[in-house]
Chains A and B, each alone.
Chain A
Amino acid sequence: QSALTQPASVSGSPGQSITISCTGTSSDVGGYNYVSWYQQHPGKAPKLMIYDVSNRPSGVSNRFSGSKSGNTASLTISGLQAEDEADYYCSSYTSSSTPVFGGGTKLTVL
């Protein structure tokens, strides 16, 4: 059960859009539409931002969107704001009937 691959860091200026990728295999990301994204601010618990590839929970800004192509899922944040600066983790269901997380991506708002 290998961790999903995410870039260690991404950055963008306020108002811009950024995309964070999450690469797996056909046994996880590519095989199921069960990809979630979590936001984690320092010292805080993760917060669900996207589930089932592209669905937003109630209360999450529509600036956050998710997609998937093949074995890679993506989280896009548009209209970057200072409060978006955080760590982001993807997660996927796997063929082992268990979830797996990505290594995490640190988003810096310049």
Chain B
Amino acid sequence: QLQLQESGPGLVKPSETLSLTCTVSSGSISSTAYYWGWIRQPPGKGLEWIGSIYYSGNTYYNPSLKSRITISVDTSKNQFSLKLTSVTAADTAVYYCARHSSLRSPLDPWGQGALVTVSS
């Protein structure tokens, strides 16, 4: 059964870059059938789609975050990554990675999530 696991620093300073990696196991990230996405959830708040990447490297970003986001894929490591620049306290959230068949399709499964706190 496909599993996803987020990893990265749990604390990032304001104005710096948040970097997270999602490792995919029991399945290939190179599958032509799937997109790989990032979603975040500030404490006590709702879900926000950040962006997704196709195995080929084509990326799709939330317009509200587009200027600060880079999502990349490393097929040799079966991983995909998120970089969010110029972070502020508003970027404090649990960050989830997930898979979907297309941008129209539901996100399933999800990783367990990684809390990233932006603070000096």
Contacts and interface: CB of A to CB of B under 8 A. Distances in A.
Interface in B53-71: 60, 62-64
B49 A45 contact: no
Nearest to B64: A1
Given A45-B110, A45-B111, A96 B63 contact: yes
Contacts of B48: 101
B120 interface: no
B103 A93 contact: yes
Contact of A36 (B45, B60, B96, B106): B106
A57 B109 CA distance: 11
A43 to B, nearest CB: 9
Interface residues of A, number: 26
B46 A100 contact: no
Interface residues of B, number: 21
Contact of B108 (A1, A34, A57, A96): A57
B87 interface: no
A30 to B, nearest CB: 15
Contact of A45 (B103, B105, B113): B113
A45 B63 contact: no
Nearest to B37: A99
Residue among A47, A48, A103 with max Cβ neighbours from chain B (10 Å): A48
Contacts of A32: 104
Contacts of A47: 110
